Amino acid sequence: MTETLPAEKSKKLKPLYKMTFLVVDDFPSARKSVRTMLTQLGIENIFEAANAVQAKKLLKDRQFDMVICDFNLGPGQDGQQLLEEMRTTGAITRMTQWIIITAETSRDMVMGAVEYQPDDYLAKPFAFDTFKLRLEKLVRRINELEPLLSAMDTDDHSALLAACEGVIETQPRYRAWARRILINALIQQKQLTRAEQLLDEVLEKRQQDWALYEKARIQMHHGRYNPAIALLMEVVNTNPNNVAAYDSLADCYMELGQTEKAQQALLNAVRVSPRRLERQRRLAEISKEQHDYVISTKAYREALTLASNTRHDTPDNYINLADTLNTAARRGADKDLRNASRQAQQVAQRLTQRFPENVPLQIKSRLIQAESLDIQGLETARDVEIDKVFDLSMRHIEDIRQPFALEVASEFYRFEKQKQGDDWVDALRKQHETDLPFQQKLLMLQSEPVSEKSRKRAATHNKAGNEAYRDGKFRDALKHFTRALEYSPRHPGLILNIVQGYFKLYRAEPEAEHIYNMEHYLRRLTYLPQDHYQYDRYQALCKRLDLLKENS
C-alpha cells in the first residue's frame, strides 16, 4: 500500500500493514467482509470477536492499534456500552483507535455513540475507498499524536500540557483539537486564569460553542452560576444539540435551588441524547424530588435498560424503579394503581433473579413486593411476604448490616407487625450487645417507628397536653395525648403521659373504666427493655396501679 504521509515523517510512522486489528461483529459474514478489506490493505494481524464478552477477553490479553466494532452485537452489551466500559476502566489506552460501524442512523443512537467519543464512525454500507481513507487518517493520527495520546493516559499534568503545546506549535492539522485538550486540562487543574486567557483568544477570532461552554465551566468553578447560565443558554440557542451544555445548566440550577429548571434542562438533554445512563438516573432523581413520578419512573426504567449487561447493572437500578412505581401508585400519581404496583412487583422479582445469592437483596425484594400487595389491597398475600422477610432476616441476621437492619425493623412496624418488629429488634440487641450507639438507635426506633413529620405532629399535641395537665384540665390533656399517640403509637413517653392523666382523672372520678384504660396502655409497654430511659417511670406507674387496684 502506498502511504499518503509526508516523506520526511514516514520513517517515524508505524505503517498500517503492521498494525493489529480487532473486528467485533455478531454476524460472521460482516466480520468476513471487514477482514477481506483489511487483507486487501496488506494487514495480517487481524482478530475477531462475535460479542462483547469475546472482545473484552481479547482486549485484556493484548494491545490493539484499532478496534472496528459494530454497534449491534446481539444479546449482551452493544458497541457503545463496550466502548464506554473499555475507556472508563482503562482497559484500552488513547493509542487504541475505536471505530463504530452500524446500519442504524437514528439520532438517539448516533448522539449516544458520539458522546462516548469513538475515534471514527462509519455508516453501513461503506465502500472500500472510504474505509481505506478513514484508516489512513487514523494511522496518521496515531503516529503524529503519540506523545499527546500517551500523556492523556497518565496523571502527569506537566507532560500533558507540554504535549499539547508541542502539537499546537508544530502540527497545524491538530492545533484546534490540542488547544481544546489543553484548556480542558487547565480547567481540571484549576489554572482558570490561563484557561480563560486562551479561551478569549479563541473567541476573539470566531464565536465557537465549545469555547463558550468552557467559559461557563470556569464561571461555575468560581461559583458564579447566573453568568454561567447566560453563557450556556447562548450555547444551546446556537446549537440545540449540545447535550453537555444542558447537563451543566442542570448543575447550575441545582446549585441555585431551582429544581424545576434543572429538570427541564435534563429533559432537553434526554430528548437530544437519551442513551446516557448517568443522565437518565439524574433526571429520575430530580423528577422524584419534584414528585413528578411519571417522568421519574420513565427515566428510572431507561436507566435500568441502559445498565443491562454492563458493570452499571447494580441493585439500585431495580430498587429505585420499583420504589418509585410504588410511590406513584400510593400517591395516586398513576391512574391505574394496580398496574403500577404490579410493575413494581415484577421489577422486585427481577432483582431477586438478578442477584440470587444476596440475602439482603432478597429481603429488600420481599419488602417491595409486600408494599405492592398492600397497595393492591391483597393483605393475605402481603402478610405472606412479610413472614418471608422475618424468616430470612432471623436466619441470616449476621449477613445484615446495621442500617438495613434498622430499615427492616421500621418496615415491620409500618405494616403494624408489632410482634415481628419487637422480636427482630430483640434479636438485633443480642447480635450487637456491645455496640451501645446501635443499641440506642434500636431503642429509639422501637419507641417511635414513625416519620419525622409524624414525630413533629405528635410533639405539638404532646406539648398542648402537658400545658392542659399543668392547668389541671385532665380530660383536655388526655385528648391531646391520645391525638399525639395517633401519630406516634409506640412512644413510651406519650403512653405514660396518658396513664398519668387517667390517674389524675381517677382521683376526681374513681371509675373502673379509668383503671381499665390504665391497664390497657401499660400493657402496650411490656416490650420496654430495662435500659430504656422510660423504664423506671413505667415500673413506678405499674406498681402505683397495683396499689390502686388493691385499695379499690
> Is residue 236 in some structural domain?
no
DSSP state of 18: G
pLDDT tens digits along 260-299: 999 999 999 999 999 899 999 999 999 999 999 999 999 9
Q: Are residues 23 and 132 in the same domain?
A: yes
Pick from 175-179, 329-333, 399-403, 544-548: least confident: 329-333
pLDDT tens digits along 213-244: 999 999 999 999 999 999 999 999 999 999 99
Predicted confidence (pLDDT) at residue 12 exceeds the cutoff of 70: no
Residue 18: φ, ψ to 5°: -95, -5
Q: How far from the centroid of its chain's Cα atoms is residue 257's Cα? A: 20
> H or E stretch including 334?
none
> Is residue 240 in some structural domain?
no
Tell which of 112, 144, 176 closes a domain. Answer: 144
Q: Are residues 456 and 547 in the same domain?
A: yes
Q: Are residues 416 and 471 in the same domain?
A: no
Q: Are residues 355 and 471 in the same domain?
A: no
Q: Give the CATH number for residue 132.
A: 3.40.50.2300
Distance between CA 7 and CA 322 in Å, rounded?
63
> Is residue 209 in some structural domain?
no
Across 82-91, 120-129, 359-368, 442-451, the highest mean pLDDT is recorded for 359-368
Banded model confidence at residue 430, pLDDT cuts 50, 70, 90: very high
Q: Are residues 291 and 374 in the same domain?
A: yes
> Is residue 208 in some structural domain?
no
Which three cell numbers mark 325?
412505581
Banded model confidence at residue 117, pLDDT cuts 50, 70, 90: confident
Answer yes or no: are the C-beta atoms of 421 and 412 closer than 8 Å: yes
Strands of the 120-123 sheet, one edge to the other: 45-49, 20-24, 66-70, 97-102, 120-123
pLDDT tens digits along 382-415: 999 999 999 999 999 999 999 999 999 999 998 9
Cα–Cα–Cα angle for 253, 259, 263, nearest 5°?
Answer: 90
DSSP state of 384: H
pLDDT at 5: 37
Q: Are residues 35 and 50 in the same domain?
A: yes
Beta-carbon count within 10 A of 316 CB: 14
pLDDT at 9: 40
Which three cell numbers mark 173?
492539522
Residue 21: φ, ψ to 5°: -115, 145
pLDDT at 256: 97
pLDDT at 155: 85
Answer yes or no: are the C-beta atoms of 370 and 415 closer than 8 Å: yes
Q: Are residues 363 and 420 in the same domain?
A: no
Q: Are residues 442 and 461 in the same domain?
A: no
Which three cell numbers mark 39?
487483507
Tell which of 378, 400, 422 closes a domain. Answer: 400
Residue 100: φ, ψ to 5°: -90, 130
pLDDT at 7: 35
Strands 45-49 and 120-123 turn out to be unpaired
Across 7-11, 136-140, 300-304, the highest mean pLDDT is recorded for 300-304
| Residue tagged 446516557 (cell numbers) | 276
> Is residue 27 in some structural domain?
yes
Q: Are residues 137 and 18 in the same domain?
A: yes
Please report how the helices 293-307 and 259-272 are oriented relative to each other, as an axis angle in degrees rounded to 10.
Answer: 40
Which three cell numbers mark 466?
402537658
Whole domain around residue 30: which residue ranges? 7-144
Answer yes or no: are the C-beta atoms of 511 and 531 closer than 8 Å: no
Answer yes or no: are the C-beta atoms of 276 and 81 closer than 8 Å: no
Distance between CA 488 and CA 496 in Å, rounded?
13
- Which one, of 329, 422, 432, 425, lies nearest residue 376 by Cα? 329
DSSP state of 17: G
Q: Give the CATH number for residue 326.
A: 1.25.40.10
Answer yes or no: are the C-beta atoms of 497 and 481 closer than 8 Å: yes
Q: Are residues 16 and 137 in the same domain?
A: yes
Q: Are residues 138 and 12 in the same domain?
A: yes
Whole-structure pTM value? 0.80
Tell me the torsion sign for CA atoms 354, 360, 362, 363.
negative
> Is residue 507 in some structural domain?
yes
pLDDT at 8: 38
If one counts the domains in the chain, the total is 4
Q: If you average pLDDT over residues 442-447, what whole number do you get?
A: 88
Tell which of 99, 126, 144 closes a domain. Answer: 144
Tell me the pLDDT of the chain averaged across its residues: 91
pLDDT tens digits along 463-503: 999 999 999 999 999 999 999 999 988 899 999 999 999 99
Q: Are residues 337 and 465 in the same domain?
A: no
> Is residue 540 in some structural domain?
yes
Q: If you average pLDDT over residues 199-208, what whole number do you get?
A: 92
Distance between CA 47 and CA 58 in Å, rounded?
8
Tell me the torsion sign for CA atoms 346, 349, 350, 351.
positive
Distance between CA 390 and CA 422 in Å, rounded?
11
- Which one, of 126, 151, 150, 2, lies nearest residue 68 by Cα? 126
> Is residue 165 in some structural domain?
no
